[in-house]
Structure 1
């Protein structure tokens, strides 16, 4: 299997390479996609509290911290990915990413602390996982008014609450990038 190199695209860690994720069925967010996303987030990322629901390699978590997020909570159930992410965090001397080896859906049903920015990038072949994650974010109060939610998906037929307003959307090949913010319904 070809080694997948993941590079930080901006901020104080720019051009640093994350530990490789070989022999693992993971689809890290490509550099071009990250650049689009973080251009969208440039006015919101500084001092934000972020949640990375399907962290995988930790690509979005590390990019967020590099671009001045205050902290990131990274959720990932794969032991090897969690181990690699923790190693990368240690090597990069990052102290504001908390990594939890956990099933995201179970975690979202147990805790409740709103986040400023939430990343939802689950495996593309599991639309139910994406829709349940969105439902739980709302049901268990993970969002506050003006939270920003990033969804990376391949199917436009996804559930999202009426109070999530689409800010930006871009299709890159078969991948759709959608950026929402939570607003007050009047």
Structure 2
């Protein structure tokens, strides 16, 4: 696993040991960030949340491309260790915060995030439940972009969010959402 573009292009990332997480493949990350770049233009100054963060590859990719800050939320111990090791290796501590715990236990946000990246476990519906909660707790504002990775067979229908784009990638599907 490597950073695809930006300041840290080509830098290696470590993945969590074990099978509790499913890191987003380089090709899927490349597709996702191409989709986002065509809509956002640039990542400069964005506040990003990487939820169900795994290795932190999605949030670190956004930071590499110029995002100002990224919050990583993960509950698996091995994944937390990988996120922290990746942040340290990239010397990104000043622009990051790691929260150990479930996405489902997040509290209200003082202000909406510009970009929310979610890669929940496949076939659980956790992404939809999390997004419903984040909408109610002020994490998503009128200008927010949301990127959700699900299995290719899962459907995405979240009240208050509209699908901007969907693209199959391998066994998965990338969905970009905006507030309705």
The alignment's TM-score, normalised by the length of structure 2, stands at 0.90
Taking the aligned partners of 1:124 and 1:79, their CA distance within structure 2 comes to: 19
Match of 2:112 among 96, 111, 114: 114
Aligned to 1:9: 4
Conservation of the 8 A alpha-carbon contact between 2:15 and 2:23: no
Instruction: State the aligned residue count.
Output: 174
Aligned to 1:136: 133
Query: Offset of 1:44 from its aligned partner?
Result: 4.5
Structure 2 counterpart SS, 1:74? strand
Cα distance, 1:161–1:168 mapped onto 2, change above 3 Å: same
Query: Offset of 1:23 from its aligned partner?
Result: 2.1
Match of 1:59 among 57, 60, 73: 57
Aligned to 1:40: 35
Aligned to 2:66: 68
Taking the aligned partners of 2:104 and 2:59, their CA distance within structure 1 comes to: 18
**Higher alpha-carbon Rg:** 1
Structure 2 counterpart SS, 1:61? helix
Structure 2 counterpart SS, 1:159? coil
Conservation of the 8 A alpha-carbon contact between 1:28 and 1:56: yes
Aligned to 1:148: 145
Aligned to 1:92: 90
Per-residue CA distance 1:133-162 (angstroms, 9 max, x = gap): 011011111111120000111234333124
Aligned to 2:26: 31
Taking the aligned partners of 2:105 and 2:117, their CA distance within structure 1 comes to: 17
RMSD value over aligned CA atoms? 1.5
| Superposition misfits of 4+ residues, deviation over 4 angstroms | none
Cα distance, 1:169–1:44 mapped onto 2, change above 3 Å: farther
Cα distance, 1:87–1:141 mapped onto 2, change above 3 Å: same
Query: Offset of 1:111 from its aligned partner?
Result: 2.4
Conservation of the 8 A alpha-carbon contact between 1:151 and 1:177: yes
Aligned to 1:123: 121
Decide which moves more: 58-67 or 18-27.
18-27
The alignment's TM-score, normalised by the length of structure 1, stands at 0.87
Conservation of the 8 A alpha-carbon contact between 2:49 and 2:116: yes
Which consecutive residues of structure 1, in runs of 5 or more, have no partner in the other structure? 1-5
